[in-house]
Amino acid sequence: MSVSLRNQRLPMFQQEARKALGDTQLRHNLGKATQTIRNKRNRVVAEVPDWEQLREAARQTKVRVERHLDAYLLQLEEAVVQAGGKVYWARDAIEANAIITSLVRMHNAYEVVKIKSMVTDEIGLNDALAQAGIQAHETDLAEMIVQLADDNPSHIVVPAIHKNRAQIAELFRASLHDIDGTKLSDDPRTLVMAAREHLRTIFLRAKVAISGVNFGVAETGSIGIVESEGNGRMCLTLPEVLISVMGIEKIVPTWRDIEVFLQLLPRSATGERMNPYNSFWTGVQKGDGPQEFHLVLLDNGRTNVLADPIGRQALHCIRCGACLNVCPVYERVGGHAYSSVYPGPIGAILTPQLLGIENASSLPYASTLCGACYETCPVKINIPEVLLHLRGQVVRAKQQNMLHRDTDPENLAMQAALYIFEDPQRLALVQKLARIGQIPFTHNGVISQLPGPLGGWSSARNLQSVPKQSFREWWHAREQEKKHDGTATR
Amino acid sequence: MRISLFITCFNDTLFPQTGRAVVQLLERLGQVVEFPEAQTCCGQMHYNTGYQREAIPLVRRFVDVFSGAEAVVAPSASCVGMIRELFPKVAELAGDPVLAQRVAALTPHVYELSELLVYKLGLEDVGAYYPHRVTYHPTCHSLRGLKVGDAPLRLLRAVRGIDLVELPAADECCGFGGTFSIKNADTSIAMLGDKMRHVLDTGAEICTAGDNSCLMHINGGLSRVRTGVRTVHLAEILASTEEYAGQRLG
């Protein structure tokens, strides 16, 4: 499910959503989990009197970053090198995976521990490592669950949101062979302790750790990761070698800027005032923690996104997942329906841009434009605006393909509607014709079955028939009557 | 005040009773209502579905028809949202600075019905009488787009005889979303299921809102499963009096 390869066409959202909607267990798990996170988030956000100013400050910082990204990246590189780290530039997933694989091999390592990271999912790193004979161990509990189940994450922050604890207990009993399965109940604490026991031996053994990056501070070369379980802290301190993969948009200009994001991110992501573990490191400290630090800076389509003045705000995302938790579409279909590493509203605007609009043309339509995402986003990404912008690109791409244009029913319908709306007399005529045209479908003033592509409407919804008199006919008649009355009185 | 009615193509064709209610209500309040017959559609369906160039001639027509009006009112939050938020973008897309200027001059005079009544005319009690149990669904475009706030609720609370009950999870989208309701029919219906459950939980006889498009979707579901609950546009409730109770407006 990696989005690393351009020209890889994603399945249609409509079809995937249909499958997901039929899974009652999934619907129940998602509804419960998103509601819980939403409530927690709302409680801790309400405590912050300057929340709106913080959002605006974060937005402006991100705008500054995108405007001077070239300079900030060089500044970051210099600072990281100065502090004893090494920096690599990867144009795409293939380059990034090659760099990482060769670094791991150089240390004769055949396994790595990983901190939960979206960007390594994006480049399909685990598969690339596996092909090179290197086993990647996901150490975030939910990522570990997803990996054990040979499944895909379905949420940016809560990757196993689609599973409940009973399902997880079942999975652990079947796949954690170093744990006595008979002792495993579905009690959360028992499950966490089992995972802890399983992971602890791996942490102590692993020589190489791989992480993503939440923040890269250009001014100081400091790299930051926030997490809740302490598995990240283990990965960042125990192994000899640390490799961090950073999307080039993850820059913040100065150390001071972190204060804004550390207030916004945990509250938006998990409804916590602060993350339990906030790790920042600058290069290498002799005798303390990893003695080698490698930073891989990844483009993978980001500079293309940056070139689009409206679309580029998608790069402001700090991966909090708040837009997923409030999205009424996500809440019902879950993350897998998007067939994209980045699901939900942010995925619907980011994936088509990273992958090419022609490869994810159904995603910009996976929204009712209700605006809940924009209202919640801690960095004020106007997701509905970008969705509309991308829909425009989908249609333009469709229309430029001449063959398609003349047969596409939607395009034909839209052109016909435009023709009708260009002339009020035409509109009035069509209103009259509709009254006749609907007769075969109408029973007792109600239409309960529509033909062709409109059948989706009537599969569960009635439609009242077109009334006998349109508003404009009523108005016209009333005006005539008034005139007539006026003449009569005179 | 002379108020130009933008009925919207949708209401014109499918919900003329809403337009008649707006006329009746505003005239009862002493306003002069005009209906420029050259109007058609604001282009929202085209724009939101991605046919953005196709919206240009419709925006031009709208601006030609309504420029210079003292006030324009539409009984649809989503159409007013299109005009206010997206007309400037259409003018930009058209690369036409004159159109952009005319849009900028016109949009401050365009109001959604509850905005016009509460914020422009300073009214809450419009003298309506409506003896029914009613719940109000704030549509996404009125809530998060236009930010009409509690204007519709203030109007409803002042209606005599009404039994107004709060809708649980009211601010959640009903699942209509324009062409989303057809392109993503399954997801749309899943969202509708939850909205219907909340409406039914209130025990209301009528679900109202400021947009007939969302109401058509909600009513489509309520009617299909014979719930005995129907939808009525806010304008029709506000137009009702002892003499013209509810559906007799039709």
Q: Are both B212 and B105 inside the same structural domain?
A: no
Q: Are both B104 and B179 inside the same structural domain?
A: no
How crowded is residue A482: how many other Cβ atoms within 10 Å of its Cβ?
10
Q: pLDDT by residue (tens digit) across B213-234?
A: 999 999 999 999 999 999 999 9
Question: With 80 as the cut, is the pLDDT of residue A11 above it?
Answer: yes
Q: Does residue B127 belong to any structural domain of this protein? A: no
As a whole number, the mean pLDDT across chain A is 94
How far apart (Å, rounded) are the C-alpha atoms in residues B217 and B177? 10
Across B113-195, where does the E strand assignment appear? 133-136, 163-165
Percentage of residues in chain B having pLDDT higher than 90: 96
Q: pLDDT by residue (tens digit) across A294-339?
A: 999 999 999 999 999 999 999 999 999 999 999 999 999 999 999 9
- Find the domain containing B51 and state its range: 2-120
How many CA atoms lie less than 13 Å away from B20 in the CB half-sphere? Answer: 21
Q: Are both B163 and B226 inside the same structural domain?
A: yes
Q: Are both B140 and B109 inside the same structural domain?
A: no
Q: Are both B102 and B137 inside the same structural domain?
A: no
**Cβ <8 Å between A13 and B41:** no
Across chain B, where does the E strand assignment appear? 2-5, 32-34, 71-74, 110-112, 133-136, 163-165, 206-209, 230-233
Q: Are both B191 and B152 inside the same structural domain?
A: yes
CATH code of the domain covering residue B182: 3.40.50
pTM to 2 decimals?
0.95
Residues with Cβ within 8 Å of residue A437, at least 6 apart in sequence: none
Q: Are both B116 and B177 inside the same structural domain?
A: no
| Minimum CA–CA partner of A375 in chain B | B144
Q: Tell me the CA end-to-end span of chain A in Å, nearest whole number.
A: 79
Q: What sign results for the dihedral spanned by CA atoms A143, A147, A149, A155?
A: positive
In this structure, which CATH number among 3.40.50.150, 3.40.50.300, 3.40.50.10420, 3.90.1170.50 belongs to the domain A13-304? Answer: 3.40.50.10420
Q: pLDDT by residue (tens digit) across B39-63?
A: 999 999 999 999 999 999 999 999 9
| Minimum CA–CA partner of B60 in chain A | A422
> Which residues 153-192 in chain B show a CB within 8 A of chain A?
171-173, 175-192
Q: Which band of pLDDT confidence, cut at 50, 70 and 90, is reported for residue A489?
A: low
Question: With 90 as the cut, is the pLDDT of residue B67 above it?
Answer: yes
Q: Does residue B137 belong to any structural domain of this protein? A: yes
What was the pLDDT predicted at A76?
Answer: 98
B51 interfaces chain A, CB cutoff of 8 Å:
yes
Q: Does residue B67 belong to any structural domain of this protein? A: yes
Percentage of residues in chain A having pLDDT higher than 90: 89
What was the pLDDT predicted at A4?
Answer: 44
As a whole number, the mean pLDDT across chain B is 96
Domain ranges for chain A, please list them: 13-304, 427-489
Q: pLDDT by residue (tens digit) across A378-401?
A: 999 999 999 999 999 999 998 888
Per the structure, how many domains does chain B have?
Answer: 2
Q: Are both B113 and B151 inside the same structural domain?
A: no
The structure tokens listed for A234 are 């283990």
B37 interfaces chain A, CB cutoff of 8 Å:
yes
Question: With 70 as the cut, is the pLDDT of residue A77 above it?
Answer: yes
Q: Which amino acid is at A403?
A: L
Q: Are both B7 and B112 inside the same structural domain?
A: yes
Domain boundary residue, one of B120, B148, B166? B120
**Cβ <8 Å between B12 and A427:** yes
Q: Are both B145 and B64 inside the same structural domain?
A: no
Q: Are both B184 and B243 inside the same structural domain?
A: yes
For residue A464, the chain B residues in CB contact (below 8 A) are: 14, 216, 219, 223
Give the pLDDT mean for B171-199. Answer: 97
Q: Buried b vs exposed e over A102-121: b needs ≥16 C-beta within 10 Å?
A: ebbeeeebebbbbbbbbbbb
Given phi > 0 = left and psi -120 to 50 = alpha, else beta, which region is B213? alpha
Q: Which amino acid is at A242?
A: L
Q: Are both B137 and B30 inside the same structural domain?
A: no
**Cβ <8 Å between A14 and B183:** yes
Which DSSP string do the residues of A274-325 spell out, in sequence order? S-SEEEEEES-BTTBS-SEEEEEEE-TTHHHHHT-TTGGGGGG-----HHHH
